[in-house]
Amino acid sequence: MNCYVNFKRILPALLCACVCIPLDAYSAQGDHEPLEKSSDLSFSDIFDSALGNAPEILERDVRRQQAEDYESISDTWFSGRPSLQLYYIDDQAFDNRGFREMEYAVLLQLKRPSEWGNGRLLSDSYAEQYSAWEQSLRHYIAGHVRKSLADIAEAEANLLLEQQATRNAEELLNTTQQLVNSGELARLDLMQAENLFLNQRRTELQAEAMLVDAERAYEILTGLQVRPDYVHTETLTEQEVISPEQPQLLYLASDIQLAEALVLQAQASVRGSPSISIGSRRQRASNLAPDEDGLALSLSIPFGGKNIVASRTSDARRDKADAEVLYQTSYRALDLQLHEIEHELLISEESILLTEQQSRLSEARWEMAQTAFTQGEISLTQVILALQEALAARKEHELLLLQRERLITEFNQTIGVMP
């Protein structure tokens, strides 16, 4: 029994010694070391690194080469490659009188007069799509960088708040220990304070894990092992409506233009192209007759087949319709998202004012509760409630401030404004 009592007496000290281990000791056990912080690291530096680290950047050279290839053939008069034709006849396998006929020519596939601008339209469409894709990619990566920095800021702020809450819980535990030692409180109150402290330490460790996850996502995104030591903030744009120049919509619009050019190309391919062959012809009637040379010309013009053209270009026309539907759907989604963010911004502004007042009142109540507790005027349960309310109000206010900054970046991102 005495051993049990002695153990109960030293239990608070053991708990304090164990739980007061710095968080760095727990961090060192993990695989991910905390990132270094730098005040010289700008958003532009982070963005450039993330852009170069993005898997989508592998498409850039291919898309650029595609646009250049179509540019190189955009103004040609021919719809396909020229081909060499050879034609030879003799009678050696039959009566063998020496009859021989030989012809060679170059076959050229020409464009119809109505199709002369199709090559330039297709080339321009690929060039514009490449430019729009590049802008869209930059906008896409900027959105991921914005989100990653906001996640880190919120996770770090949450960790600092939980560390402060742990210190408050530790102060309450020490005060309770002193009152128990002086005989003013029962040991049951000490166990209650210890439980509060241990729960708070668990919450603090969870907050640390959230920061580790946010930093790891940032490192994967950017390839950097250093992050800014400040909160990324932006000025809310004055633009209030989604513009067709929004990078995502601009890229989808280029898809529509390209799909239209591909419809024209498909129609031209199905209709067929006029072809002309130019060459020379040599013939001999018999062994006694001389060779006769002449110019060989031929012209082939396809015609008709309206139903065939319509049926075989239906896939291209459907792709164009799909591109138009995607554009309209994306525009509506962006417009709805913009209004939701705008509404959340309005609510957050009003909530920040209210939580600021609530936080001041809760802090004052917590200080008064501490004083009253040391004087025996209130119970430990009342003190814990006051502490929990103060911590909750403090946390809500600080995170609302960061949420407002996140909403501003999301608003700018949705509008299409780059940082």
Q: What domains appear along the chain, each with residue ranges and CATH number?
A: 22-74+117-270+314-415 (1.20.1600.10)
pLDDT in tens, 243-302: 999 999 999 999 999 999 888 887 777 777 788 888 888 887 777 778 788 888 887 777
Distance separating alpha carbons of residues 284 and 72, to the nearest angstrom: 44
Distance separating alpha carbons of residues 340 and 239, to the nearest angstrom: 15
**Tokens matching residue 34:** 């905390």
pLDDT at 9: 42
- Mean pLDDT on 31-55: 91
Mean pLDDT of all residues belonging to the chain: 85
pLDDT at 307: 67
Range list of H helices, 182-223: 187-222
pLDDT in tens, 331-365: 999 999 999 999 999 999 999 999 999 999 999 99
Q: End-to-end distance of the chain based on CA atoms, in angstroms? A: 69
Entry pTM: 0.81
Q: Which phi and psi angles does 95 have, rounded to 5°? A: -85, -10
Distance separating alpha carbons of residues 375 and 184, to the nearest angstrom: 10
Distance separating alpha carbons of residues 141 and 171, to the nearest angstrom: 45
304, 266, 301: which is closest to 118 by C-alpha?
266
Place of tokens 């109150």: 189
**Tokens matching residue 363:** 């802090």
**Tokens matching residue 336:** 């709805």
150 pLDDT tier (thresholds 50, 70, 90): very high
Distance separating alpha carbons of residues 120 and 61, to the nearest angstrom: 21
Range list of H helices, 275-375: 306-312, 314-374
> Are the CB atoms for 49 and 239 separated by under 8 Å?
no
6 pLDDT tier (thresholds 50, 70, 90): very low
pLDDT in tens, 177-236: 988 888 877 888 889 889 999 999 999 999 999 999 999 999 999 999 999 999 999 999
pLDDT in tens, 365-412: 989 998 898 888 888 889 889 989 999 999 999 999 999 999 999 999
**Tokens matching residue 263:** 């419809």
For residue 112, count other CB atoms closer than 10 A to its CB: 15
